[in-house]
Structure 1
Amino acid sequence: MPVLFLFFFLSLSTISAQQRTYCNPVNIDYGYTPFERFSQEGKHRATADPVIVNLRDTLYLFSTNQEGYWYSADMLDWTFVYRKFLLDDKYTHDLNAPAAWVMNDSLYVYGSTWELDFPIWKSGNPTRDDWEIAVDTLNVGAWDPAFHYDEDQDNLYLYWGSSNEFPLLGTEIQTHNLQTTGITRPIMKLHPEDHGWERFGEYNDNVFLAPFVEGAWVTKHNGKYYFQYAAPGTEFSGYADGVLVSENPLGGFRYQAHNPFSYKPGGFARGAGHGATFRDAHGNYWHVSTIFISVKNNFERRLGIWPAGFDADDVMYCNTAFGDYPTYLPEFAEGKDFTAGLFAGWMLLNYNKPVQVSSTLGGFHANNAVDEDIRTYWSAATGDAGEWLQTDLGESSTIHAIQINYADQDAEFMGKTLGKKHQYVIYGSDDGREWKIVVDKRHNQTDVPHDYVELSQPVRFRYLKLENHAMPTGKFAISGFRVFGKGAGERPGPVENFVVLRAPRDKDGNRLASWMKWKNHPEADGYNIYFGKDPAKLYGSIMVYGTNSYYFTGMDKADAYYFQIEAFNENGISERTEVIRVD
């Protein structure tokens, strides 16, 4: 097959100067699980429970078992700093569900423990490995800890807990010695009998196991404390964050009507629980949280970042609509309405389109690379240079960005690895015979498991081919070769016959579910369902592919709900339907 080396060469420096968007999952060099018992189905990358904090307009990202952390000035390019915070050889892992907070122009870090031998670390210069022990032990064991420093009051609070039996707890920490005052208060427990989204199970339908509550985080806004928590379990697509509100940092918290506030049960990358809310250099709010995969192990996970904030009525929200499509970066988000989302408008061009490959390993079929499910993947028979995957867009289309999501097949690594790299080339063609280079990363020296490339200038092609040149480990395996841009056809018309039927009361009097159905649109790839408890605050969203119905089990039992739906394909998004009220 002849190849015309007419270089649309995109050097990394050119891309960096042009980029305006990012795409979830966050593209960082995730470490591999350090636990043999979690690797029975294969060694794999894994992290979760993220926290991002802002120190002097630089963002610092910590997450579970990474033996270090990342920092970024723009939320796109993340630099890893290797650092083992747990120095005792008895620990296989490094920090679990770490806490990080900024106080008096320094960054502090602490990890999960029920013991009293973990230090709190402190750094005034965390862009390099420059840390000191602030205190060698904390006089309360805290699993899933979160610290909130109240600048207005010069007070520090600690929140913690992860249990399907006990509540999340809170205490005040003295700033002069970083020890608790000795008074611990229960903050909250779940109420799955009232809140459908808090019930255990993939479809919130497991009545035999109690749900887990964890992932405490507090954000202060307009004199009120917004206590965030995760439920019902990290291994489910409905893993979400809720929020309670109080004027008191250690009590009196009320359930916010608009919950869950961070929720993403559909789309390519699903799950938006156990996270943290932070502000960028421009003052905008974002929420970082956990994306589930849970194929090789329940704790196989990634990270996502979503626009967030507070509306005019001080309702806390997080917008995950099109949350795994190209999204504007902070520099280009100024002046935009975060409640309406920051989606760049580039559609997915190759959903379920024809695929050809160089080889296939077992049942890891080629179409898995374009089915919009991070849990499924295609694997080549080898990890050798020259293995390739080709996608047909169906017609010549305008391409703005490409995301390559690698999967772990026959990986050999355990724990954190350094100095690894992915190398590849992406070719474009109009006829499938003559090819031009679109992206050349044959000399890339970085580990990019979810590489996202925004082209400095859009290109037009019908076919794209991804060719492997080097893998860090294992087979050449792809869970999502995702092409974004503008198709040449028409966007779908509005959805017709949208019906929402709320389930009758169960034996306990609950009405926690509803069934939705609509007329299938022949030109639609998928649908976005929007919901909320106010027609002007439809902050919840559910992305649905390949069906014209959805069973929604995340409702609160006593409240009326409002719903809208829109259709989308590679050419654009339809108008939304009229809002439907369901009592």
Structure 2
Amino acid sequence: MPRLVSLIASAFFSLMPLASAATQHTFANPLDIDYRYSWEQMNEGISYRTGADPAIVRYGDAYYLFQTIADGYWMSKDLVHWDFVKPDHWPYDGHVAPATLVADGKLFLMQSAFGPRPLMVSTAPAHGRWSFWTRSLPFIPGATQYDESGKLPFKGKLPPGPWDPGLFRDDDGKVYLYWGSSDTLPLYGAQLDMNFGSTEGEGKRLAFVTTPEAFIHLDPANHGWERFGPDHTMGDQPAYIEGSWMNKHAGRYYFQYGAPGTEYNVYGTGVYIGSSPLGPFEYAPYNPVGYKPGGFVTGAGHGSTFDDAYGNTWNTGTLWLGANWKFERRIDMFPAGWHDDGQMWIDTRFGDFPQRMPDHKLRDGESTFTGWMLLSYRKKATASSTLVGHPASLLTDEDPRTFWVAATNEPGQTVTLDLGGTPTVRAVQVNYADYQSDRYGDAPDLVTQFVLQGSTDGRHWNVLADLSASDRDRPNAYIELDQPAKLRYIRYVHKHVGAKHLAISDIRVFGNADGPAPQAPRDVVAKRGSDTREAVVSWKPVPGAVGYNVRWGLAADRLHSTYQRFADQPTSFTLRSLNRGVRYVVAVEAFDEHGVSELSQTVELAP
């Protein structure tokens, strides 16, 4: 490393930062947590951080986030700052798609299973203290089971399980278990006796009160979004249904599920509505209720829906990354809720831009979107060194599957972004990539350390944020500046990352440029084809636009579904996620560095 770069880095590492995590009141997807390395998370010898299938639950005065394959879980007091908790008693060998339940003053945790597995319980999850509620879940009546060796199956009419479980306790105290993950089989449910009244300790006996029944199937012939593949383009290939989650609202039961596959941009959340916990259920015509197929973050399926301390509803989901393997993923979170008539909604519009975390009960129609726009898209980026095939230009393409790689992973490596003008910068997100990584499990050096600098002229620099003493791994580090600053240049100065290479997919800069918002798109056309699960949507390009949001829903005031498109993509595309027999309303808005346009004129899509 050149001595001059080393001296510059050392000088700035010693300065006080202008950004402080303690004062951060916004967040951006992917969630900024220390996604874990695991022996189970590797592909052809390459390891990678990943997170999927999030279950967030509020217990006491804190929130707890459980996910697939982690040697613990995360705790937060505000849904912005998350701390990893390493349990002192953890029998799980990398639990998958866990279910949570708060009942009887306790927090329960159940992992996915094909055979007998434990049900854990805690009254002190903040301290990592867990015990067994039972060491062995009950066999599912009528399911395929295994002998004591865990190898020889005894065939039954149901698949073994519960895989991808979901737990729900109704107001009358009855508990229900839902499960299933398959491209051929449905989802199942039954009432479960948790034996709360027993005075027994470890070894409580759980039992099924009702016979497990299949009650939710995919119907891709009528539901366009349930078709497999990128943008639902893989025809009749079997799709997956999984990720059961139940909420009760205003006396109705909202059974949520993930489809059609976690390894594509269209992974979404659907909902069926019933009058009892085991149905019968009716398909919601506005499905998918949670859907984010475009933008930096894509995917919103298989998660959880919960209320915060102020009564605001949130939905978590699994976003697709897929750089090292098709199942490389992260976690996202979106505001959610219900209309007075019972329609459920999940708002993914600008879902990968900064969002405010409210400190009050949101009013009807009040958005969490900060209005901070993307300032870095396709802006010039230069680096102190580059590995062949991974240029610095990839740092601003809004694609997490492409990335810059430094020639060496040494302190003092730099990346500089030229924003062109001097917009007001309010936040920066640094998204690392795992390139030829060889890390497994936990280690003291798995920390992310860097300094962010800002300048108006490229010669005189101020420290925007100093993470040079960080003790956390932050693969999607989101930094909200304490004070907005007018800047032309943003510089990343590297100190340490716990990976084989220094690789960054995108440095995303947010704020606002001076000037008016773009004009609303004109000449919007939406036409259904002979296959009414699809419609071609087109509009006239808006000069200077960075991108567009194509929005649709059941009414002009309920355009809850969004497909984000960037300006270098065609202003005509086929929307393949529609339901047969449902009338839709479609509109388009443009956005740039100044703000968001008015909504275009709405266009009706007849059934």
| TM-score normalised by structure 2 residue count | 0.90
Trace 1:338-353 onto structure 2 (pairs within 5 A): 339=365, 341-353=367-379
Change (3 A) 1:43 1:6: closer
2:392 to 360, 366, 387: 366
Worse-matched range after superposition: 426-435 or 192-201: 426-435
Q: Are 2:89 and 2:129, in contact at CA under 8 Å, matched by a contact in 1?
A: no
1:557 to 567, 573, 580: 580
Trace 1:94-109 onto structure 2 (pairs within 5 A): 94-109=94-109
- Hey, what does 2:145 align to over in structure 1? none
Matched, 1:60 2:59: no
Please report how far the alpha carbon of residue 203 of structure 1 lies from its aligned counterpart in structure 2 after TM superposition: 2.0
Structure 2: how far apart are the matches of 1:360 and 1:457? 32
Please report how far the alpha carbon of residue 28 of structure 1 lies from its aligned counterpart in structure 2 after TM superposition: 0.7
Q: Are 1:8 and 1:436, in contact at CA under 8 Å, matched by a contact in 2?
A: no
Please report how far the alpha carbon of residue 85 of structure 1 lies from its aligned counterpart in structure 2 after TM superposition: 6.8
What are structure 2's unaligned runs of at least 5 residues? 141-160, 196-204
- Equivalent position SS for 1:203: helix
Matched, 1:46 2:54: no
- Alpha-carbon RMSD: 1.9
User: 1:346 is aligned with what amino acid?
Assistant: W
- Hey, what does 2:26 align to over in structure 1? 21
User: 1:145 is aligned with what amino acid?
Assistant: P
Q: Deviations over 1:361-407 (max 9, x none)?
A: 12112121111112221111111111111101111111111111111
Q: Deviations over 1:271-295 (max 9, x none)?
A: 0000110111111110011010112
Q: Are 1:100 and 1:109, in contact at CA under 8 Å, matched by a contact in 2?
A: yes
- Hey, what does 1:508 align to over in structure 2? none
Trace 1:327-342 onto structure 2 (pairs within 5 A): 327-331=355-359, 334-337=361-364, 339=365, 341-342=367-368
Structure 1: how far apart are the matches of 2:162 and 2:585? 39
- Hey, what does 2:118 align to over in structure 1? 119
- Equivalent position SS for 1:215: strand
Please report how far the alpha carbon of residue 553 of structure 1 lies from its aligned counterpart in structure 2 after TM superposition: 0.5
Q: Are 2:175 and 2:193, in contact at CA under 8 Å, matched by a contact in 1?
A: yes
User: 2:33 is aligned with what amino acid?
Assistant: I
User: 1:165 is aligned with what amino acid?
Assistant: T
Structure 2: how far apart are the matches of 1:213 and 1:313? 27
Q: Deviations over 1:294-325 (max 9, x none)?
A: 12111100000100011111111100001111
- Hey, what does 1:216 align to over in structure 2? 244
Structure 2: how far apart are the matches of 1:31 and 1:266? 26
- Equivalent position SS for 1:275: coil
Change (3 A) 1:113 1:385: same
- Hey, what does 2:604 align to over in structure 1? 581
Trace 1:293-308 onto structure 2 (pairs within 5 A): 293-308=321-336
What are structure 1's unaligned runs of at least 5 residues? 506-510
Structure 1: how far apart are the matches of 2:550 and 2:14? 42
- Hey, what does 1:81 align to over in structure 2? 85
1:70 to 46, 71, 74: 74
Please report how far the alpha carbon of residue 419 of structure 1 lies from its aligned counterpart in structure 2 after TM superposition: 5.9
Change (3 A) 1:51 1:256: same
- Equivalent position SS for 1:272: coil
Q: Are 2:56 and 2:316, in contact at CA under 8 Å, matched by a contact in 1?
A: yes
Please report how far the alpha carbon of residue 335 of structure 1 lies from its aligned counterpart in structure 2 after TM superposition: 2.9
Structure 2: how far apart are the matches of 1:370 and 1:155? 51
Change (3 A) 1:399 1:7: farther
User: 2:167 is aligned with what amino acid?
Assistant: F
| TM-score normalised by structure 1 residue count | 0.94
- Equivalent position SS for 1:97: coil
Q: Deviations over 1:199-218 (max 9, x none)?
A: 01112121242111000000
Change (3 A) 1:309 1:520: same
- Hey, what does 2:424 align to over in structure 1? 398
- Equivalent position SS for 2:393: helix
User: 1:236 is aligned with what amino acid?
Assistant: Y
Please report how far the alpha carbon of residue 251 of structure 1 lies from its aligned counterpart in structure 2 after TM superposition: 2.0
Q: Are 1:292 and 1:302, in contact at CA under 8 Å, matched by a contact in 2?
A: yes
Structure 1: how far apart are the matches of 2:540 and 2:65? 43
Q: Deviations over 1:215-251 (max 9, x none)?
A: 0000001111100001000001000000000011112
Q: Deviations over 1:523-572 (max 9, x none)?
A: 10000111012222111111111221222110012111111111001111
1:256 to 280, 284, 289: 284
User: 1:225 is aligned with what amino acid?
Assistant: Y
Structure 2: how far apart are the matches of 1:552 and 1:135? 48
Q: Deviations over 1:446-498 (max 9, x none)?
A: 11111111111111110111010111112221111011111123321111111
- Hey, what does 1:290 align to over in structure 2? 318
Q: Are 2:13 and 2:466, in contact at CA under 8 Å, matched by a contact in 1?
A: no
Q: Are 2:547 and 2:590, in contact at CA under 8 Å, matched by a contact in 1?
A: yes
Structure 2: how far apart are the matches of 1:355 and 1:364? 12
- Hey, what does 2:169 align to over in structure 1? 149
Please report how far the alpha carbon of residue 340 of structure 1 lies from its aligned counterpart in structure 2 after TM superposition: 5.5
Structure 1 runs (4+) greater than 4 angstroms displaced = 1-8, 416-419
- Hey, what does 1:169 align to over in structure 2? 188
Alignment size in residue pairs: 567
Structure 1: how far apart are the matches of 2:181 and 2:342? 28
